[in-house]
């Protein structure tokens, strides 16, 4: 299916060391892209690269970068741009938080804003000029159903994902003439290591019971898996989606339209 190939494209994936970011990096590599796997944990990024090299005959590189640090982003993206044109950026790096307004500390609020909002801002800002020089490109942001739905106990997380969605729309509008597309994916619950760690910490001995309860939040009766997000990401970043920009695509097992 050549329309979904990324041969000759250079893709940067943040948060590529685990979960959704790792799945996207691996899927893009299978589609022929040259991958730069960015993560705050070098070992995790290098493990993603090893997994790519084990299964794909493509180039992949690990880069250590704190996406909340302007200087670090400029250095990492500058080094990549000096090596080859940048065609795709996927902003997958993010952190979660459980809590309502009155149980969210200022420290937690600031932490989520730094990673989920400022991190996306800095990565997009740093990559815009290299993309212009490449004749265009694609930016894909990981938002969430929390951006547009009122979810219980997700105050700060929902705030950040709403900001990600708003930034996506602004960038899509402002860079039309530069042939830069910008879209967002809004997943519902995806089975990542965060879910397992959360259940182990808060429901020891009841992990299976609570996993089933959380899975049934989606009308389809299960959580999504990172590979499903990666498949949608591949489509949106491929030339097959060249008519799509400024879009927020739900990947939610029927959460919005079929819930209740």
- CB of 232 closer than 8 Å to CB of 185: yes
Q: How far, in Å, CA of 17 to CA of 212, rounded?
A: 26
Tell me if residue 121 is catalytic: no
Contacts of 69 (CB under 8 A, 6+ apart): 122
| Active-site option among 36, 157, 175, 198 | 157
Residue length of the chain? 260
Contacts of 78 (CB under 8 A, 6+ apart): 126
R_g of the chain, CA atoms, integer Å: 18
Q: Which tokens is 182 given?
A: 């910008």
> What is the sign of the dihedral through the CA atoms of 51, 48, 245 and 127?
negative
Residues taking part in catalysis: 157
């Amino acid at each position: 299916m050549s329309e979904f190939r990324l041969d000759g494209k250079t893709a940067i994936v943040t948060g590529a060391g685990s979960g959704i970011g790792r799945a996207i990096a691996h899927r893009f590599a299978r589609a022929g892209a040259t991958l730069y796997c960015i993560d705050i944990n070098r070992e995790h990024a290098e493990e993603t690269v090893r997994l790519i090299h084990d299964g794909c005959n493509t180039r992949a590189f690990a880069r250590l970068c704190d996406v909340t640090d302007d200087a670090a982003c400029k250095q990492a993206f500058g080094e990549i741009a000096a090596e080859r044109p940048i065609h795709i950026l996927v902003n997958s790096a993010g952190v979660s938080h459980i809590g309502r307004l009155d149980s969210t500390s200022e420290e937690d609020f600031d932490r989520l804003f730094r990673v989920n909002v400022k991190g996306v801002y800095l990565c997009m800002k740093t990559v815009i000029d290299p993309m212009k020089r490449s004749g265009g490109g694609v930016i894909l942001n990981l938002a969430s159903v929390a951006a547009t739905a009122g979810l219980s106990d997700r105050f700060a997380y929902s705030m950040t994902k709403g900001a990600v969605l708003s930034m996506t729309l602004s960038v899509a509008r402002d860079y039309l003439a530069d042939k830069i597309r910008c879209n967002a994916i809004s997943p519902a619950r995806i089975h990542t290591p965060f879910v397992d760690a959360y259940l182990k910490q808060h429901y020891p001995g009841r992990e299976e019971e609570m996993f089933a309860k959380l899975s049934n939040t989606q009308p389809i009766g299960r959580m999504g898996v990172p590979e499903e997000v990666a498949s949608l990401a591949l489509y949106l970043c491929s030339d097959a989606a060249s008519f799509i920009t400024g879009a927020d695509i739900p990947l939610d097992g029927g959460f919005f339209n079929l819930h209740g």
